[in-house]
Structure 1
Amino acid sequence: MSASLQIALAQIAPVWLDRAATTAKILGAIEEAAKQGAQLVAFGEALLPGYPFWLEHTDAARFESAQQKRWYALYREQAVCIERGDLSDICRLAAQKHIAVALGSIEAPSNRGGSCYASAVYINGNGEIESVHRKLMPTYEERLAWAIGDGNGLVTHACGPFTVGVLNCWENWMPLARAAMYAQGENLHVAIWPGNLRNTIDITRFMAREGRSFVMSVSGLMRASDIPDHLPDAALLKEKLPKSMANGGSCIAAPDGEWLVEPICDREVVQTAEIVLDKVWQERQNFDPCGHYSRPDVLRLQLNRERQQTLADDTSRES
């Protein structure tokens, strides 16, 4: 019998801009995924503590806006600081349930000034953080809230018989980012999105066919009714923001490009599916993008995994 893995997509809405309350919802979804027998569960981009939906609708590029400054300061305050232990409860539950977690978070590292990063965090079934991938290039107005990332987290992970890679949102449109994952043996690709069917319905099946891999696209949900009343300018946000900002669209495609789980919209759900490794090998019989169909003598990709920082502290200098 071919090796298999039970995977789960967790399509939930955050308690927007509330790290503690959103963490509680994530823990509940992990519990539910584990109850359904999942060995890996994935969540949408920026879910903890939420995607910055205000940017598009509140003239966020206005320079020296006191309002935008207030919202950004709150955003950073509620972001995740990994070295402070903000993911400890999630790691602990992952270890207890022996389930790996791919989580979209807003990361505010303590050693990087005031900047935030859209980071995909991979936690293994022992509760250990194996990688933190900071989004390479924020898209459009996201650049008003997120700094650019680096290649440090462009790695793959062993999960049961599968090799898993994770990319944030429009990184999935970047051919070289995808190729970096393929070249590391990826056969289960996790694409995380803030939400919306328009993002997932075409590219999910395309990536599955291109990589001859299983692809799970996982999105969040966000409605104006999800904006907590205690937030600064909550009434203004509810007036300016659409009734639905993210309708989900989470789905899973098989290596032949066919749906294993068709896109799910407008509801919170923890949906599981079994994936079988033999299906990957069947589809790679005639096309393997980084195997028998590659030409490294002609085309080759260079990956820089150094964590980028302002200060290079060269402690090896001679005195």
Structure 2
Amino acid sequence: MSINVEDVVAQFGAFYKPGSDNQKNLRNMIYKPKETASFFQNRPSDDTIFRSNMAALTRVVQPFQKTFTPIGALTFKPNQFDLFQMKIDVQEAPDALVKTYVGFLGDIAEIDRSKWPFVRWFLEQHIMPKADEDLETLEYFAGVFAAPEEGVAGAAGTSMDGIRKVIRGYATAGRTNVGNGAISTGAPASDDADFCTQVEDFFEAIPSVFRKKLDIIFMSPENELKYRRGKRKKYGKDFNFVTNTGVSALLTLEDFPGIQVKGFESHAGSDLMWTSIPMNRIRALKKASLANTMLVKEYAPRTVSAYTDWFEALNFEVPEFVFHNDQDLE
């Protein structure tokens, strides 16, 4: 890696002007936050495999008779999934900043470059927010794990299996929707009001015993906007208010006001929509604290290296409690 200061030099010249104005005028890129994972329960452990079991009992109630006629079979259905080890490796030579407009990020009085103001600014304002954006937009939903070639940085979107691949796998195995598979919705209707109906029909197709336990229908930002417009068009009401759960009334289901329709940047471009019980959404972690902690060293003269690594996976404790439509499953 190398710091690109060409535009700064071209605009302001290759020299440093002392004073606080430079710092006040430095603006950082706005990165997309790590939102999807916040709706999954953290499950830290020392294992690299998450294991769970679903227990179910068949019918036990029967008409009375004097003879003892026991019924009811207890079954267990196991589930397990791997955690994915991922890392951040960065390296910069901050000397390139010293004679520029942003020279205040350097410290020529300190020989150890890892102690320069640049390092903390770079970590807090760019590396960690960018890591959150990478996870949100490339890994958490669309990721498909691929083992990296030795000595070569792995490609974008290959650090882990994202939610879409996880749901695809469980659907292929016949485990989602209590074994009933995808709920048929078809492609999103071109008319916004019709799409609103599609979302409502999707939720109504979920077995009733689960409906009151659900909270969010996950979808793309584009389809959230389509639903918002469709609800306004379909019902012709003033939905310009917030419900008692703090959600815009335009983003709830008309007959199920406790259910929120929510678009995630991670799902952008996909027509897959899904929902699951909150406690069933699992973010399995190992070395969790290291995801937000980086070791900074000056291994080579005037070159700063920073790195960290951790294990993580977004998945579901019981696949049978995942409900999804029939889109973007291949």
Normalising by structure 2, we get a TM-score of: 0.26
Larger relative CO (CA 8 A, sep 6+): 1 or 2?
Answer: 2
